[in-house]
Structures are given as structure tokens and as C-alpha cells.
Amino acid sequence: MSLLADADTGAPGPPANEDFPARFGVALDRFLRTRPDVEAARDLAGEVCALVLAGGKRLRPAFAWWGWRAAGGAASGDAAEATVRALVSLELLQCCALVHDDVMDRSATRRGRQAVHEVFAARHRRHRWSGSARHHGDCAAILVGDLALAWADDALVTAGLPAAALRRAWGPWQEMRTEMMAGQHLDLLATARRDGSMEGALRVAALKTAAYTVERPLHLGAALAGAPADVVECLRAFGRDVGVAFQLRDDLIGVFGDGEVTGKPVGGDLREGKRTPLMAIAMARATAAGDHAAQRVLRQCFTGVPVTDEAVAAVRALLVGLGAVEAVERHIDALTASGLAALDRADVDEVARENLERLAARAVHRRD
């Protein structure tokens, strides 16, 4: 029995041109079709497949592909196809992060559908099983995330990469997984310690999102291509700055985004009490101005009490009025410019450079 039970029995062949999204879609579909069908894990596997196929920006594999191309990797041929298959690992790593993050943040939705822990909790309530539905949902979601992480390793090591390329890739792959977990841990600690500082928020952004969204995928792609150290460093510098800019844009979307576009509730970050650079700037400005009323309004997002629609509207108004939104927009522009300057220092393929510039623009100016 296939885990993609509603799909056709055959998968399309890879596109002949350098249409990476289409080629990646084929590789992802083929990988999911060939997962071991363990009956006891079918529910878990089904949720991995559903979340991975529910959409998403596919930015991580795209940055890795253009890191490969920037470092001299071929656009087509056996090595290119093995690389595309290997980059499926990044989408599965992202699946792991999303599922676990939703449990930690108590997010109810993801990509326009119920978050995984909510799916299993609802099933528990529907069947009137014993024990806590919430606890059951959380435990099942942890297992779904763990399965996605295991499949991510599978995707990398079974892609058919030459042994030398796999050895080169293994270092950035290990670092990326550890950095992602470290960033989540810092985020958890910031909440527990009530750390609303700009320094703390940027440190979380650099590890939790920037490293595994842009910097390390570029590093991984370049390593697969055997890039020289100077090219790797320029790509990583580009990735660090664009990655933080990506997170800052995410912070703005998390407060001002359209729920129908993002697939999450309006003002989701405020309701979840996230300590972001956006909120840190606003709090610092309210404190410097001696505006105690503004400080009280901002702090209500961190008390653990449900945040109402009225409170979301009040905080949004303050973020604009205090100039925090404008400050974050300027920071995004500055980081993007410094990232592109780092890319200009690299001796990379012009087609790859143009595509990396487009990806950077897409990452930092998106609406979802």
C-alpha cells in the first residue's frame, strides 16, 4: 500500500530543462512513494506526506540548488539529478521543524490546515480514547517530526551521490541540524526567561531560521559541487544576511499578515507571545519615551493570557506608531544589500548569481 494512496501509480519523468521547482517536485514525489510502509506508523507517515505536499515556499532546496550551480555544479546529467534527489532532505528537515515548532508555540493551524498535534488530538476526542487528548496530540506530533527528520537523513544518503560528494556534504548537514535545534532551544529559553532584548531576538533569528533556511542550504549545495573555500564563505555570508532578513520579514508577516494568505491566524505571533526583534524595538522605544501605557499594551502579549482581537489591533498600531515597523524594514533593506555585496565578491556562474538575487528578493519581500 502506497503512502500516497490517492496518487497515480506512476510518477512523471524529470523535466529536460533547468526548471528546478518541477524537477524537485518529481524527486519529492518519488521519494515519498518509496518510503517503507510500516502499518503501525502509517498515521505518522501520512501526516509527514500531507504537510510536505500541502504547499510551502521550497526556499531551502532552491537556495541549495543555486548554491550547487553557483559553485560550478552541472545543470543536467547524473550528478545534477542526484543532487536534486539529495535536496529533498531539506524539505523534510523543514517538516520536522514545523511540526515541533507548532507544538511548542501551541499553533492551531499550518499551511491552511490543522496543525499536526491538533489532528491527533481531534482524533483522540472523536474516538473518546482515554487520557488527555492534548497530551496524545503532542506526543504523536513529536513522533511525526522525528519521522520527518529520519526521512531527511534517508533522502540525503540514498540519493545516489558520489561518496566524495556525500562526505563533503555531511559536515554542513550535521551543523544545520544541530543549529536548528539550538535555535529552537534559545527561543524556548527566551520565553522562559522573559528575554525581550534585541540581541537575544537576533541570536534566535540567526540560528533558528537564518542558518537552516539560507546559509546552510547554500553551504550544502556548494559542498556537493566541491566549491573552493572562498566561494563557500561568500555564499555563506550572503546567506547569513539574507536569512536574517527573511526572519525579520517573517516577523512582520506574523503580526500584519493576511491569515488567508499565510494559513495561520491573523496576528499569530502576538497571540503566541513571540519575542521578536520587531517587539524588542517597540518595547525599547516605548521605554525610552517613558510611555508606560504603551509598555503595558506590548507586555500583554507575553503574559500567557489569551490575546484578543482588540489587543492585536492595539499592538499593531503601536508597532507602527513607535516606528518599529519602519526600523525593521530598514534593517531588512540593509541586510539584503550587505548580502548581495557578499555575493558580488564570489566568482560564481552568472546564471546562478541572477537566480540567487531573485531568490533573495522573493525571500525578503514575500507576503506569506
pLDDT in tens, the chain (368 residues): 345 643 333 344 444 457 999 999 999 999 999 999 999 999 999 999 999 999 888 999 999 999 999 999 999 999 999 999 999 999 999 999 999 999 998 889 998 899 999 999 999 999 999 999 999 999 999 999 999 999 999 999 999 999 999 999 999 999 999 999 999 999 888 888 888 888 888 888 888 888 999 999 999 999 999 999 999 999 999 999 999 999 999 999 989 987 777 666 778 888 888 889 999 999 999 999 999 999 999 998 888 778 888 999 999 999 999 999 999 999 999 999 999 999 999 888 889 999 999 999 999 998 87
Cell numbers 544518503: residue: 157
* Predicted pLDDT of residue 12: 43
- At 55 the three-state DSSP class reads coil
* Predicted pLDDT of residue 11: 40
- Pick the closest to residue 221 from 27, 82, 95, 357 (CA basis): 82
* Predicted pLDDT of residue 7: 37
* Predicted pLDDT of residue 8: 35
* Predicted pLDDT of residue 28: 97
Residue spans of the domains in the chain: they are 20-364
* Predicted pLDDT of residue 164: 97
Number of neighbouring beta carbons within 10 Å of residue 62: 23
- Cα angle, residue 361 at apex, residues 359 and 363 outer, rounded to 5°: 65
Helix (H) or strand (E) holding 340: helix 324-344
* Predicted pLDDT of residue 129: 98
Say how far apart CA 328 and CA 316 lie, in whole Å. Answer: 14
Say how far apart CA 363 and CA 14 lie, in whole Å. Answer: 26
* Predicted pLDDT of residue 262: 67
* Predicted pLDDT of residue 317: 96
CATH topology of domain 20-364: Farnesyl Diphosphate Synthase (1.10.600)
